[in-house]
Structure 1
Amino acid sequence: MNHIAQTKEALGPPAGPATAFFARLAERITKFSGTTLAFCVAAGLVLVWALTGPLFQYSETWQLVINTSTTIITFLMVFLIQRAQNKDSLVLHLKLNELIAATKGASNRLINAQDFTEDEINILHQYYCLLAEKAQKENDLGRTHTVEEAEENHQEKVEAHQPKAARRR
């Protein structure tokens, strides 16, 4: 059984028809909301609302219509936009994970780095800061360094500074 089949099995049955329908609807609305047509429709509605002001004597009800409409649309769009960003972020992480997994010499510890704690991320950030410093000291731009190489160098430095008696143990 391949890895994708194992993953599907572990995740359980696919989402039901209602979830699939909502996913398709949300995707269509998200795509449409970023188009020129959507902007023109929204601008047109605001223009129609503004032009009807004299007809309704700029009443509180007239103002309430635009305020309520825009508030509801904004409220719903926040969730749709967040859903789209979550999906895009997940896809980006999957692509990066694939590149890491497929690249010889890459540190597999970075696969699913988005799930790391803040402390773990800070530790890795410090490693990469060390690698950047190391790269700056060398004039060879083609030379690469890995986290593992930095760890080995660090360990060698630690051992070099230990008293000889401590090294023998």
Structure 2
Amino acid sequence: MRKTFTAFANAVAGAAGKAQTFIIALLIVVVWAFSGPVFKWSDTWQLVINTGTTIVTFLMVFLIQNSQNRDAAAFQAKLDELLRAVETARDDFIGIEHLSVEEIESLRRMLEEQTGECKDGHKAHASVERLLSRY
């Protein structure tokens, strides 16, 4: 069941981001709008688009969130692997996504204190400054 839902969520999320899907949705709205005079701008005519868009939006929230959760977890696993593999990287940063916002902010401030000053007055790590100086 889980793999079926994952495949379905991937397919729907992928299709939702395509230009063709937008064009189809736009055409549905245009057809609905032009059908207004035929249905005398009735409450039922308005209810059709309101109900349809509400249902689609409600379901899409869960499908897209499922895809984003998987993407974020995969991305985090890749970053953790890079931290583990790079000899000079700090292994302490593996898993910091599980910390509270306050703890992450504290880490961010600590890292900023370890940085140098850029030409424009912003803070940057020395390696970033070297990279920027090349261009």
Fold in common (TM above 0.5): yes
The counterpart of 1:33, out of the listed 6, 16, 26, is 16
Counterparts of 1:136 and 1:56 in 2: how far apart (Å)? 66
Counterparts of 1:34 and 1:114 in 2: how far apart (Å)? 27
Alignment RMSD (CA, Å): 1.8
Structure 2 counterparts to residues 10-159 of structure 1, below 5 A: 18-132=1-115, 135-136=116-117, 141-142=126-127
Q: Following TM superposition, by how much is the alpha carbon of 1:113 offset from its aligned partner in structure 2, in angstroms?
A: 1.2
Counterparts of 2:127 and 2:51 in 1: how far apart (Å)? 59
Aligned amino acid, residue 82 of structure 1: Q
CA offsets 1:34-91 (integer angstroms, 9 cap, x no match): 0011001101111111121111111000000001101111111111121121111111
Larger Rg: 1
The number of aligned residues is 121
Counterparts of 1:49 and 1:142 in 2: how far apart (Å)? 57
Counterparts of 1:89 and 1:19 in 2: how far apart (Å)? 18
- Sequence identity of aligned pairs in percent? 38
Q: Following TM superposition, by how much is the alpha carbon of 1:19 offset from its aligned partner in structure 2, in angstroms?
A: 1.5
Taking a change above 3 Å as real, the CA distance of residues 142 and 85 of structure 1, as seen in their structure-2 partners, is closer
What is the DSSP-based 3-state SS (H/G/I as helix, E as strand, rest coil) of the residue aligned with 2:117? helix
Counterparts of 2:102 and 2:26 in 1: how far apart (Å)? 46
Taking a change above 3 Å as real, the CA distance of residues 142 and 83 of structure 1, as seen in their structure-2 partners, is closer
TM-score, structure 2 normalization: 0.82
Unaligned runs of 5+ in 2: 119-125, 129-135
2:15–2:21 CA contact under 8 A, matched in 1: yes
Q: Following TM superposition, by how much is the alpha carbon of 1:118 offset from its aligned partner in structure 2, in angstroms?
A: 2.5
Higher relative contact order (CA 8 A, sep 6+): 2
What is the DSSP-based 3-state SS (H/G/I as helix, E as strand, rest coil) of the residue aligned with 2:49? helix
Unaligned runs of 5+ in 1: 1-17, 144-169
